[in-house]
């Protein structure tokens, strides 16, 4: 993901525009806009309860509930571009760990937030649910970080 295209310097690529779903995460362009509250410490949360990617071994679909929390620095990620980026994983083969951590690392590298964490709560296939967590560092002092609110998988019981 290091050869990822950056948004044009002239402004956001997707905001207010008709945009197609990228064919792959590598082709997806994430837009960042100036943080309107740079002086404050606050948390932004994105939840994607219907995230999908493909198993790299079987090609079968994998489903997850992703929760992305971050404390913005100079920029914030534009939500439409994030939605398109996450949607581009629909035909992407990757292990749960690689997909979850890769999304977090790409956002952290490009956006340079003060702090970021991602929780990937993967639904079981083959009987084993896998939850994957990654963060850039310990949360900044004074940042309110609520629980991600996704319960561990307990089956139908």
* Catalytic machinery residues: 55, 62
Q: Nearest to residue 84, comparing CAs of 127, 131, 46?
A: 46
d(CA 14, CA 30): 9
Residues 123 and 63: beta-carbon distance below 8 Å: yes
Question: Residue 10: helix, strand or coil by DSSP?
Answer: coil
Label each residue of 83-148 as H, E or C: HHHHHHHHHCECCHHHHHHHHHHHHHHHHCCCEEEEEEEECCCCCCCEEEEEECCCCCCCCCCCCC
Which token pair is 153? 């998988």
Which token pair is 152? 């561990």
């Amino acid at each position: 993901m290091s050869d990822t295209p950056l948004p044009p310097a002239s402004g956001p690529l997707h905001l207010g525009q008709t945009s197609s779903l990228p064919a792959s995460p590598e082709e997806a362009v994430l837009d960042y806009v100036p943080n309107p509250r740079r002086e404050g410490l606050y948390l932004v949360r994105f939840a994607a309860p219907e995230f999908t990617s493909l198993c790299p071994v079987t090609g079968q679909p994998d489903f997850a509930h992703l929760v992305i929390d971050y404390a913005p620095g100079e920029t914030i990620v534009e939500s439409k571009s994030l939605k398109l980026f996450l949607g581009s994983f629909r035909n992407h083969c990757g292990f749960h760990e690689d997909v979850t951590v890769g999304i977090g690392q790409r956002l952290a590298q490009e956006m340079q937030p003060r702090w970021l964490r991602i929780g990937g709560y993967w639904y079981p296939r083959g009987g084993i649910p896998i939850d994957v967590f990654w963060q850039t560092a310990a949360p900044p002092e004074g940042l309110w970080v609520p629980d991600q609110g996704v319960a561990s998988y307990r089956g139908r019981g």
